[in-house]
Amino acid sequence: MLDLKYIRENLSEVKENCHYRLAQVDIDHLVELDEQRRSLQQELDEQRAKRNVWSKQKPTTEQIVEIKANNQAIKEGEERLVKIIEELDSLLLTVPNQTDAAVVRSLNEEDNPVLEEFGQPLEFAFEPKDHLALAEQWNWLDFERAAKVAGAKFYYTSNDLVWLELALIQYSLAIIAKHGFQVMTTPDLAKTSVIERLGYNPRGQSTQIYNLEGHDLSLIGTAEITLGGYYQDEILKGDKLPLRYAALSQCFRTEAGSYSKFAKGIFRVHQFNKVEMFVYCRPEDSAKEHQLLLEIEKEIFSGLEVPFRIIDHCTADLGAPSARTFDLEAWLPGKPNKEDQLGDWAEMTSASNCTDYQARGLDIKYQTADGKKGLVYTLNGTGLALPRAMIAIVENHQQADGRIKLPVALKPFIPLELSSMFFI
């Protein structure tokens, strides 16, 4: 979340940022609530001070009446303060992070500049299949039986697609660990308050989050949530930063409001495996750490021998916690484009610098050797979102007979003697 003092002192900039981030937030009302909170807090402090003075002496009859009135005023004031703070906090959580100066200001979500391109889309000498057709040929996926068990957009994987997924997990974690990240597994659940203070909306019709009825818990949509909450209410040693973590987790998303987006096969589903990176660092190191996350993502996809490009999110396409986000988009031969032809770019990974936005919400600080304290900066990056990475591999490396040419980098991670011979 943003600092209230910063909002008060930079009102026009915050309003402009909300406008370009497409965030419908009543900043004036937020400031008004903050003024009410501070004014009421001052009144309560004065009333409590009077009560403390009276408690040290024997009151007169007249003072007893005044004390009772003062106590009632304190009680009513505290009740009003709780309501004001609840509304203020709720509204503050909807204010997005301030945007990095390098980000393109635009109200169009598609105005994302392309920064780099790696490889060229392959021109097949045959009509390529999409991942669903390949899955049918090799019996990789079962949506029909999954729907009977769990509902639409769930799936079973089998045969070589399982080996491919397990190989991708080991491959990506090995690369990430090489760069100094501590590998972890995390809970698949998080407290709703943690999710909110990391900048995500766990409630409402448009939420992407599954909530557990009767519990203050939700299923995570990414291990960013559980890695981000790891040091809640703690003070880290400045000389130990940066702290870098990577986690494999199950991810759960409702995909509410995604009906108009590309959702074929396993591209957009309710449950999937994902490898996530997360960094805690000092403010002055965040740009360097952001670039490290991006370079790792590029290294992972370069080894998969898939054409990809890097885009820089414009303001309209930024998530609320992020000040700047890079996406890695891979070429998918089976994805329809705007001209209704097959072949288009699709998001595979993202890398975001969330500055001190998440750390303020969760009260995560660092302390220097001379005792000075400050909020850490947090960053996150996708190692691999497994379903999409698998789509990119099988569609780009398919052969005319439907067999898949396995990228060299994955061969050490697949027990070829246990898999079908179509991986060559």
CATH at residue 191: 3.30.930.10
Q: Do 399 and 270 fall within a single domain?
A: yes
Asked if the structure places residue 311 within a domain, the reply is yes
Check residue 419 and give its pLDDT: 65
The answer on pLDDT for 49 being more than 80 is yes
Check residue 257 and give its pLDDT: 63
For all residues of the chain together, what is the average pLDDT?
A: 93
pLDDT digits (tens, 9 = 90+) for 330-382: 999 999 988 888 999 999 999 999 999 999 999 999 999 999 999 999 999 99
pLDDT digits (tens, 9 = 90+) for 146-168: 999 999 999 999 989 999 999 99
> What would the two tokens of residue 399 be?
């052969």
- Over residues 284-311, the mean pLDDT reads 98
Q: Do 70 and 170 fall within a single domain?
A: no
Asked if the structure places residue 105 within a domain, the reply is no
Percent of the chain with pLDDT over 70: 97
The answer on pLDDT for 418 being more than 70 is no
Split at pLDDT 50, 70, 90, the class of 60 is confident
State which residues form the domain around 196.
114-413
Known catalytic residues are 253, 268, 347, 350, 388
Q: Do 222 and 79 fall within a single domain?
A: no
* Cα–Cα distance for residue pair 279/181, rounded to 1 Å: 9
CATH at residue 12: 1.10.287.40
Check residue 379 and give its pLDDT: 98
- Over residues 193-213, the mean pLDDT reads 86
Q: Do 25 and 142 fall within a single domain?
A: no
Say if residues 377 and 357 touch (Cβ distance below 8 Å): no
Split at pLDDT 50, 70, 90, the class of 204 is low
Check residue 201 and give its pLDDT: 82
Check residue 27 and give its pLDDT: 97
SS3 assignment for the chain: CCCHHHHHHCHHHHHHHHHHCCCCCCHHHHHHHHHHHHHHHHHHHHHHHHHHHHCCCCCCHHHHHHHHHHHHHHHHHHHHHHHHHHHHHHHHCCCCCCCCCCCCCCCCCCCCCEEEEECCCCCCCCCCCCHHHHHHHHCCEEHHHHHHHCCCCCCEECCHHHHHHHHHHHHHHHHHHHCCCEEEECCCEEEHHHHHHCCCCCCCCCCCCCECCCCCEEECCCHHHHHHCCCCCCEEEHHHCCEEEEEEEEEECCCCCCCCCCCCCCCCCCEEEEEEEEEEECHHHHHHHHHHHHHHHHHHHHHCCCCEEEEECCHHHCCCCCCEEEEEEEEEEEEECCCCCEEEEEEEEEEEECCCHHHHHHCCEEECCCCCEEECEEEEEEEEEHHHHHHHHHHHCECCCCCECCCHHHHHHCCCCCCCCCEC
| End residue of a domain, out of 92, 122, 157 | 92
- Amino acid letter at 252? F
Split at pLDDT 50, 70, 90, the class of 44 is very high
Q: Do 153 and 274 fall within a single domain?
A: yes
| End residue of a domain, out of 92, 123, 142 | 92
The answer on pLDDT for 59 being more than 80 is no
Q: Do 217 and 81 fall within a single domain?
A: no
The structural domain count of the chain equals 2
CA angle in degrees (0–180, nearest 5) for 385-389-395: 155
Check residue 420 and give its pLDDT: 64
- Over residues 41-68, the mean pLDDT reads 85
Say if residues 332 and 391 touch (Cβ distance below 8 Å): yes
Percent of the chain with pLDDT over 90: 84
| End residue of a domain, out of 92, 122, 140 | 92
Asked if the structure places residue 145 within a domain, the reply is yes
pLDDT digits (tens, 9 = 90+) for 2-22: 999 999 999 999 999 999 999
